[in-house]
């Protein structure tokens, strides 16, 4: 909140208010729909990571993804990641390390889209050349991460992790590594990698569409390709839980990028606030509905007795 207040202190608040009041709201349905569809593509991708271990329905994973985002917005320290891992662990019967591996795989494959978006941005916009170190980091993470995931899952199948070492601690650690590596089996399938890569690009393209619709609503005159860079900037800004739901950090990141592209500061701040609202409000409404539809309760999150065990 302090960051957002500092940002508003540097501009004419009345100008920001005028920009927001002049927004064309009929772009909102497209923005909200595109954002929710992006989670559906993530659910398809997530299912591929589960398939070598257990068949989990896309609809269920979609609901869990929406619930996780809602909890990230409402709870501190991105607690939604804990909630969705616990729910999946409860409903699928898989070990925690296996579920964690699928979440890790998700984050890793996001770098497919981010790398592509940054390369496009660097080629299309001279103003974005300062982002090349970030592009290099994402490409390196993608290459090293996929290679490491393939190596670890293959080592498990080769039996190099099968021999029980001496000592209780080593046995426990080896068991967790084995479980984690079993959650990475999808990386050994070229078909699965093609599906998850395609879904990653589709998901983040949908999110870029959401930002484009928000920009149209506010009246920004920017190339559609610019919103690919905006997606990366927004995601990086909220990836570390410095503030609740990225409030302030998100607005500063988006405003800085827009100003670098010669957007008026008042309009840039208005867009950042508007886009953040579009991202947050629908999930705070749909998240509880998803929990009700899947009959998720505190039993599923805290592993109390009597929870239901279905995910198919």
pLDDT given at position 166: 60
Q: How far apart are CA 173 and CA 249, in angstroms?
A: 37
The SS3 of residue 294 is coil
List the one residue out of 82, 78, 72 whose CA is nearest residue 303: 82
10-residue averages of pLDDT along the chain (312 residues): 56 79 92 96 96 94 95 88 92 91 94 92 85 89 93 72 60 81 92 95 96 95 93 85 79 89 91 93 94 86 57 56
* CA nearest neighbour of 238 among 108, 89, 78, 95: 78
Cα 142 to Cα 83, 107, 135, 187, distances in angstroms:
26, 10, 11, 12
pLDDT of residue 230: 94
Burial class (CB in 10 A: 0-12, 13-18, 19+), 147: exposed
pLDDT of residue 306: 45
Render the burial of 61-78: b for 16+ CB within 10 Å, e for the rest. bbbbbbbbbbbbbbeeeb
Q: Which residues have CB under 8 Å from 72's CB, separation 6+?
A: 78, 79, 80, 81, 245
Query: Rounded to whole angstroms, how far apart are CA atoms 29 and 286?
Result: 14
Separation CA 84–CA 255 (nearest Å): 31
pLDDT value of residue 129: 82
What's residue 307's pLDDT? 45
Residue written as tokens 């490491």? 148
The H-assigned helical ranges of the chain are 2-9, 13-21, 28-50, 58-74, 80-92, 96-124, 132-158, 168-182, 190-218, 226-239, 249-260, 265-293, 298-302
| pLDDT score of 201 | 96
Sequence-distant (6+) residues with CB within 8 A of 290 are 63, 64, 66, 67, 70, 296
d(CA 310, CA 163): 33
């Amino acid at each position: 909140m302090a960051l957002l207040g500092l940002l508003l202190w540097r501009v004419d608040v009345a100008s920001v208010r005028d920009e927001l009041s002049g927004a064309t709201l009929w772009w909102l349905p497209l923005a909200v729909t595109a954002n929710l569809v992006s989670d559906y593509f993530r659910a398809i991708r997530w299912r591929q990571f589960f398939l070598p271990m257990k068949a989990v329905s896309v609809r269920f994973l979609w609901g869990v993804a929406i619930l996780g985002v809602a909890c990230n917005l409402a709870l501190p320290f991105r607690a939604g990641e804990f909630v969705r891992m616990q729910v999946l662990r409860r409903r699928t019967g898989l070990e925690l390390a296996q579920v964690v591996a699928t979440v890790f795989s998700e984050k890793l494959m996001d770098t497919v889209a981010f790398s592509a978006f940054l390369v496009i941005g660097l080629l299309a916009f001279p103003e974005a050349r300062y982002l090349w170190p970030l592009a290099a980091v994402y490409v390196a993470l993608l290459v090293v991460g996929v290679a490491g995931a393939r190596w670890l899952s293959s080592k498990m199948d080769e039996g190099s992790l099968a021999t029980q070492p001496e000592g209780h601690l080593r046995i426990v650690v080896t068991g967790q590594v084995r479980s984690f590596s079993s959650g990475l089996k999808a990386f050994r399938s070229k078909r699965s990698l093609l599906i998850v890569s395609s879904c990653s690009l589709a998901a983040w393209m949908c999110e870029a569409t959401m930002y484009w619709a928000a920009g149209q609503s506010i009246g920004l005159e920017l190339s559609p390709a610019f919103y690919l860079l905006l997606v990366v900037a927004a995601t990086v800004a909220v990836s570390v839980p410095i503030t609740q739901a990225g409030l302030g950090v998100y607005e500063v990141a988006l405003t800085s990028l827009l100003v670098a592209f010669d957007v008026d500061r008042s309009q840039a701040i208005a867009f950042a606030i508007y886009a953040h609202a579009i991202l947050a409000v629908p999930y705070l409404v749909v998240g509880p509905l998803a929990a009700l539809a899947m009959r998720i309760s505190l039993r599923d999150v805290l592993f109390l007795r009597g929870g239901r065990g279905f995910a198919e």
